[in-house]
Every structure is written in structure tokens, then in C-alpha cells.
Chain A
């Protein structure tokens, strides 16, 4: 049982380049989330998807787009990367059953030069 899988683990981009961070969960969870974590800081919510076919903005959505491709997959796209987007990105999912906890992936470490 893999849980939440994120790819890639590491990525270096030049300013202005685009890329998509992939996230997949195999726990049949309804809701999925994207967070970013800057060094020494807490997690900030970028976007979330309460269920397949829906997405909503979190605390810091600017510069990002998301796609809930199906129930398993939730991708995060940076259209034109900026140095301020250098961070560790975590994907998480939750089942939607009563008071179930979040399950996190191991993160993608992104550096934008």
C-alpha cells in the first residue's frame, strides 16, 4: 500500500519555466490538498479538491493551477516559475469519513533559479 505518491522528488527550474508536480493516492480518498513549506516555516495551503471534479483556492494560490484528473490524481502546475516559488511541496489526501486524518506524501523539493 503506497499511500500518497509524489513525483518528482527533486526539481530545479529556471525562472519562467513551467512544470507539473504529480500526486496520486491509492486509498480511495475523496479530498486532496497541495501545500508548500518554505524553510523553517509551517505549511501553507495552495489548492484543494474536496471531491473529484472540484477544486478550490487555499491561502496562497497565485502562480499555481491544479487539476483533479480523477479520484486518484491531483496535479499542481507552475506556468511560469519564479524564485519565490522555491519551496517543498506536499500533497495530502483524506478519506472524507468521520474525522479521518490527513495522509501526506514525502514532498517535492523545488528550486527556481
Chain B
């Protein structure tokens, strides 16, 4: 699996747009980029996944440049409830005997 690098922490305010960037220089051709969100005392939950360009769902957008060596998770108009740890993973989980390794994630704190 490709190694990923993300900021350890970020702070923002309610109503702002938050962008969290993840670097994955060694991404393989078949790899997808997947983001998870983890609230305190809960297991991570899937937010969004993409392969290239832009993906948008009801929660977030994911921007992936043409070289795919990085990706940016964008959270529009954050609220206090978006305070969580966000993990970027790169790989193909469905491949056989696949280790799925999480990094340290980005701890996002939203202030009133």
C-alpha cells in the first residue's frame, strides 16, 4: 500500500470550508483514495472515495490532480459536529491478502 502523509492537526471555525491534503507519492495505477472519519469513542466510518479528478457526495468533495500524487478532502461549511480525526488511505482493499494500514490521521477541531 502507498504511504500517505497528512497534517497532524487543523483548526477552523464554524461555517468555513476546510481542506485537508494528503500526499501519496507512490500511489499505484490501480489504487483508489479513500477517506474515513472517526469521532471520539467510535470506529472510523467511510466518507468518500475517488480515483481521479473530482468526486462529490452529500458529506464532502475529493479533489485529485492528474498526477494523483496527492488528494484534498474538502468539507464545505463545517460545523462543530465535524470535529473528528480524518484518515486518508490509498490502496485496493479488495485485492487478496490485503493489509489495510491507517496512518495517524488529521485531527480537525472546529470552534464556534
Contact = CB atoms under 8 A, between A and B. Distances in A.
Interface in B55-112: 85, 87, 92-94, 96-105
Interface in A38-65: 41-45, 48, 50-51, 54, 56, 58-59
Nearest to A99: B32
B99 A96 contact: no
Contacts of B99: 45, 48, 56, 58
Given A42-B87, A101-B34, A102-B36, A59 B101 contact: yes
Contact of B100 (A51, A102, A105): A102
Main secondary structure of the interface of A (DSSP, over half): loop
Size category of the binding interface on chain B: 20 to 34
A102 B42 contact: no
Nearest to B105: A42
Interface of A: 4, 31, 33, 35, 41-45, 48, 50-51, 54, 56, 58-59, 88, 90, 92, 94-107
The 9 closest A-B CB pairs, nearest first, are A104-B43, A101-B46, A43-B102, A42-B104, A50-B97, A90-B43, A99-B32, A96-B94, A94-B93
Interface of B: 32, 34, 36, 41-46, 49, 85, 87, 92-94, 96-105
